[in-house]
Chain A
């Protein structure tokens, strides 16, 4: 009897809706029935409304069933799901599910397919091809490849990754660092988390290539404490990489050494700002530094430091493996390549959609997202996390492109889209934006530290109908001070959700 491969994701969202229990139930049923199966804990396909999503490998390809409850497991066996037979939860060939089929997955090409902690799986799917090529190139050539790809920082600021690397390469120093910003604090975002849990070797490889490119020998991944599953996956993957010569001294027989360590954050949103993150890594309060000096020149412990977001670093292995042109040739305008977009909040089909830049919000919300989970009309979406603007329906035809979004006062940010239906009170959302800033401000600059508290007070008065016109005037003035006077994006971008709510939904403030 041949052993049948059955896949149950180990992604934390899948676990949060019961995947571990499903995996146990499937194993138990198979044993009870004397059917030999190989249970593989793969990554999630990113179709979270279908999680826990169980797949079975058949001659027709991988067949999906979901969302599976423990109570469904016996009936799946009865129906012959191991042969891909019909069942109420049968979804057909996984890759033919429209949500997945119509994506352009580059960074996420392995995610959901492989076992995240299997190095052989990683190698069988183009893993470490990028590093292999980079090790045969000069540092400057590697940097040029990343420059030519047009890759821009996926953390939100969209600064060209290659320019950061070039600055570090050209800064003389005996010690240089590669730091991965995995402090993914934006609500509505989970692409970093998915990479770390579902394809950790890709991040390790990206960081190793960065080390080759700039001449660094030590790296740190700063992961938020809210992501215990990601921390565990990375630590295991790092151990495996060391055991197999992909980390440590003389990587793959080359002269390059690279050591890598995970560091855990401690629940501070502002530590996602790169200089605050470096302070935190150094063991201090996560307080923003004034720039210059840029981290590329004086970063961690005062040394030249590449600090990039998870998705930026994760894009690098494929750029090196297939060449810059391959990546640069998709996208629009100055936004090259793909963006892993995250559909979240009140959405029917929440999940991960990787598309080339240029896809419109409406396509994402309707064609992929399927509208709201509540079935009510979408009233507003917040794109780019807590510092991103609230966008009304009239802006849904905006293509996903850094410049197109900036032109209407919105931000792509880290690619998270939070959907709200028509029951949302936008004055409350504006108040929350200020409240969140007050909770998370590092306190170094006054516009952010004090402005956020005054902002909550002003919005409370507006909601309470006290001196409404004056308070709205005051709120706009306050936002102007925060935009122009804050040290970092925390203070200067908090007005985005506040003013967009006020401008697009004035009726909620009266």
Chain B
């Protein structure tokens, strides 16, 4: 393992051992790893495969199937903008375009300074107050380009 620290290695091993006897342990393990280090490094796939007694291909298949699991580190803040119908109907497309142009990065990409990763999301369940987005784990609804700029400015430079 090269991508992460010794502490993280220990944490990952503990995460896997702790959960491996759960029925259907794969997703809980992957969630716990991503919660701990922010993504699922390729190096942990053989460890999970060995402990769950499945092939590496099976683990890789799961990691790459689900939109939520990241295979690479993200920026400091993940900005998820809802692209689904209810938000589209209420200014969501304009918000998405504004986000992409002001951050200077496409969707599924990270800004050059490593501050923000921009992701689409298909419904945050805030459809009564569309359009909606998340920054990290903070939810924001009734968004406008101006409100977007304020939220981004407040986050920029924070850990």
Contact = CB atoms under 8 A, between A and B. Distances in A.
A346 B129 CA distance: 9
A208 B23 CA distance: 20
B130 interface: yes
B34 to A, nearest CB: 9
Given A226-B123, A267-B67, A342 B52 contact: no
Contact of A190 (B23, B52, B89, B127): B127
B144 interface: no
B125 A345 contact: no
Which size class do B's interface residues fall under? 35 or more
B108 to A, nearest CB: 11
A94 B132 CA distance: 26
B134 to A, nearest CB: 8
Interface stretch (A11-19, A31-39, A77-85): A11-19
Contact of A342 (B69, B90, B128, B139): B128
B126 A16 contact: yes
Contacts of B26: 283-284
A55 interface: no
Contact of B30 (A13, A51, A266, A351): A266
Interface string B117-159: 0000111111111101000010111100000000000000000
A159 interface: no
B132 A344 contact: no
Contacts of B90: 345-346, 373
B62 A225 contact: no
A344 B130 contact: yes
Contact of A351 (B52, B58, B128): B128
B45 interface: no
Interface residues of A, number: 60
B42 interface: no
Contacts of B69: 266-267
A182 B65 CA distance: 19
A286 B65 contact: yes
Given A264-B27, A286-B66, A346-B90, A386 B85 contact: yes
Interface string A200-230: 0000000000000000000000000111110
A9 interface: no
Nearest to B25: A283
B85 A382 contact: yes
B141 A13 contact: yes
14 contacts: A16-B132, A16-B140, A17-B129, A187-B85, A189-B125, A267-B121, A268-B65, A268-B68, A269-B122, A280-B27, A282-B23, A345-B86, A345-B127, A352-B128
Given A282-B24, A429-B85, 7 more contacts: A13-B129, A48-B129, A188-B86, A266-B30, A283-B27, A350-B127, A436-B84
Interface of B: 23-28, 30-31, 52, 58, 61-62, 65-69, 82, 84-90, 121-130, 132, 137, 139-142
